[in-house]
Every structure is written in C-alpha cells, then in structure tokens.
C-alpha cells in the first residue's frame, strides 16, 4: 500500500504546480461563459446556458468569422509550409554562402507581430507602398487599389504578412529534420539507380513526415489563434470580411467588454481545435508506423 502511494507523494509538488498554473485559469475562464460579466464594475450575473444558445442560434457573425478563420488558417498554413519546405531543401543542399544566408532568412520570425502588421499596411497602401502597382503590373489588379479595402481581397493582405512571418518557422523545423537523415540511405539508393525525385518521394518525405505533421498541427493552432496582424492591418473590416474568430473574441472582450460572451466564443474555438488536434494525432500515429 505504502509503495503505491509513494510515487504520488513525489509527484505531488509538480502536480499541484501544474494544476494551479494551468487548470485554475482555464476553469476560471470557462466559468465566465455562464455569467453576464462586466470587468470594470465587477458585476457578475449568472445566466446559465443563454450565451451558448445565442452563439448557436442567432450569431451570424460567428458563422462568418468561422469561415474566415478557415480561409485564414488554411491559406496561411499552405503557403508557409510549401515555401518553408522549399527554403529548407535549398538550404540543405549546402550551397556556398549558406552560413551567411541562413541567419538572414530567419529575421522575420524575430519581428514583433504588431510591427509586421504596420509594415504591411504601408506596403499595401497605394500612396506609400509599392505593392498595389506591382500587383497591377502583373495583371492581378486592374488598377492600383488597396486590397485591404476590398472586401473580396482584403483577407489576402494579412495572409501575405502572416506567410512572410511564418516561413522561417517551417524552415527551421524542417531543416533540422532533413539534417537528421543519415546520408548513407541516399548513397544506397543512388547505387540502386534512384532518381532525384524518387529519392525525395520515397526517402526524404517519409522520414521527415512526423516533423511535418507535428509542425502543421502546432502552426494551425497558432495561426487560428493569431489575431494581432489582422487587428493592426484591417481591424476585421471592411464590413467584417477579415473578421476571424480570435479577432471577434478580442472585440467582444475588449471593445464590447463582454467577457462572458467572449468566453463562450473561446470555448467554441477551443473545442474545434481539440477535435482537429485529435484527428491529426491519429494521422500521425498511422504515418509513423511505416516499418
């Protein structure tokens, strides 16, 4: 009996620490969802499930922001990943001067996101930035307008900024994975007469697949929670065309000061991300049992 209890005693300080640091704030946050809560006056009124009914039945903006979140996350993730992988492959080829170029490419990752937002706002502004004219020159725009003010295109502004910001993350992770592949596998394959693409398809890709999956999983969650760039660049506008769930939460909490409803939206987002996480976890399990 004593034997059973002993390990738990050793674990106790850590467990207490974790539950205080993680669980208590989480549960407090979730409990707000059942209250009509005003931060400044500190008034809390229990409203039960009213706010959950509101989000499911009458909140059209939530549905819209959910769809926008899908576009925002999938487009950002797709371009960050493909460009990041490309960059990692180039860097891994070990061309001359790679030691000099590599640190430079990681700079965007170190820039604060508010600054990134401001920088790209000016880039997309026809008065101060080159992008509208460049886009016109290549035929994407019919005139040098600011895409941030066009409800059909506005989302691509923050997405561009986010892609610029997020590429280095994928490059770092994938480069580390690429460098961990033993070279003798490639040598053996070369003797068997395998082409460059085949080597990539059948050796490189399966070996870095676990890293790909885990980085995609982490990044997707980060991106869908990442509101700063959008808040700085468009504030969810024009006409809510760039409103994603996390900017909607921010507006609800800090503009409308409605912490209760903000908590309800957060719970909705949280549960969807958890489902997503579980699915990706399964896929990862399948992919790693390749032997």
Q: CB of residue 254 vs other proteins: minimum separation in angstroms?
A: 5
206 binds other proteins (CB under 8 A): no
Q: Which of 226, 229, 227, 215 is nearest to 251 (CA)?
A: 227
Q: CB of residue 39 vs other proteins: minimum separation in angstroms?
A: 5
Q: Which stretch binds other proteins (CB under 8 A): 10-18, 37-45, 197-205, 213-221?
A: 37-45
Please give the residues from 145 up to 184 whose contact with other proteins meets the rule CB under 8 A. Answer: 145-146, 148-151, 154
What sign does the CA torsion over 204, 206, 209, 210 have? Answer: negative
> Looking at beta carbons only, is 234 or 246 nearer to other proteins?
234
> Looking at beta carbons only, is 166 or 236 nearer to other proteins?
236
CA distance 152 to 64: 14
Q: Output the six-digit token pair for 89.
A: 């492959």
The residue behind tokens 């024009």 is: 238
On whether the CB atoms of residues 126 and 132 are closer than 8 A, the answer is yes
Q: Please pick, from the candidates 25, 206, 238, 281, the single residue that binds other proteins as defined by CB under 8 A.
A: 238
Q: CB of residue 258 vs other proteins: minimum separation in angstroms?
A: 9
Q: Please pick, from the candidates 36, 38, 90, 204, the single residue that binds other proteins as defined by CB under 8 A.
A: 38
Please give the residues from 40 up to 59 whose contact with other proteins meets the rule CB under 8 A. Answer: 40-42
Q: At a CB cut-off of 8 Å and minimum separation 6, what does 79 contact? A: 159, 163
Report how far apart the first and last C-alpha atoms of the chain are (Å, whole number).
Answer: 42
Q: CB of residue 118 vs other proteins: minimum separation in angstroms?
A: 9
Kindly state the DSSP code that residue 13 receives in the 8-state scheme. Answer: H
Question: What DSSP string describes 44-88?
Answer: EEE-TTHHHHHHHHT-HHHHHHHHHHHHHHHHHHHHHHHHHHHHH
Q: CB of residue 126 vs other proteins: minimum separation in angstroms?
A: 7
> Looking at beta carbons only, is 39 or 185 nearer to other proteins?
39
Please give the residues from 95 up to 124 whose contact with other proteins meets the rule CB under 8 A. Answer: 109-110, 112
CA distance 33 to 48: 8
Question: What DSSP string describes 89-125?
Answer: HHHHTT-TTHHHHHHHHTHHHHS-HHHHHHHHHHHH-
39 binds other proteins (CB under 8 A): yes
> Looking at beta carbons only, is 92 or 150 nearer to other proteins?
150
Q: Output the six-digit token pair for 260.
A: 């209760």
Q: Which stretch binds other proteins (CB under 8 A): 38-46, 76-84, 209-217, 269-277?
A: 38-46
> Looking at beta carbons only, is 74 or 125 nearer to other proteins?
125
Which positions lie near other proteins, rule CB under 8 A?
Answer: 38-42, 109-110, 112, 125-128, 145-146, 148-151, 154, 234-240, 251, 254-257
């Amino acid at each position: 009996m004593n034997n059973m209890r002993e390990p738990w005693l050793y674990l106790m300080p850590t467990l207490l620490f974790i539950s205080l640091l993680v669980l208590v704030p989480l549960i407090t946050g979730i409990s707000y969802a059942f209250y009509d809560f005003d931060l400044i006056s500190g008034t809390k009124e229990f409203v039960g499930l009213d706010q959950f009914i509101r989000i499911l039945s009458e909140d059209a903006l939530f549905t819209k922001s959910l769809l926008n979140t899908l576009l925002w996350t999938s487009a950002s993730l797709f371009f960050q990943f493909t460009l990041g992988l490309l960059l990692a492959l180039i860097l891994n080829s070990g061309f001359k001067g790679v030691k000099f170029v590599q640190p430079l490419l990681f700079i965007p990752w170190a820039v604060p996101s508010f600054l990134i937002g401001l920088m790209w706002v000016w880039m997309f502004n026809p008065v101060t930035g080159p992008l509208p004219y460049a886009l016109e020159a290549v035929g994407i725009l019919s005139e040098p307008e600011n895409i941030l003010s066009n409800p059909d295109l506005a989302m691509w502004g923050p997405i561009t900024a986010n892609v610029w910001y997020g590429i280095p993350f994928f490059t770092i992770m994938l480069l580390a994975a690429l460098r961990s592949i033993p070279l003798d596998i490639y040598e053996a394959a070369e003797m068997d007469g395998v082409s460059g693409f085949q080597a990539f398809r059948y050796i490189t890709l399966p070996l870095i697949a676990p890293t790909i999956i885990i980085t995609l999983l982490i990044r997707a969650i980060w991106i869908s929670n990442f509101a700063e760039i959008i808040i700085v660049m468009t504030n969810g506008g024009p006409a809510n065309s760039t409103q994603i769930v996390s900017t909607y939460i921010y507006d609800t909490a800090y503009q409308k000061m409605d912490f209760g409803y903000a908590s309800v939206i957060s719970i909705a987002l949280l549960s969807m991300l958890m489902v997503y996480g579980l699915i990706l976890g399964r896929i990862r399990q399948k992919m790693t049992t390749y032997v």
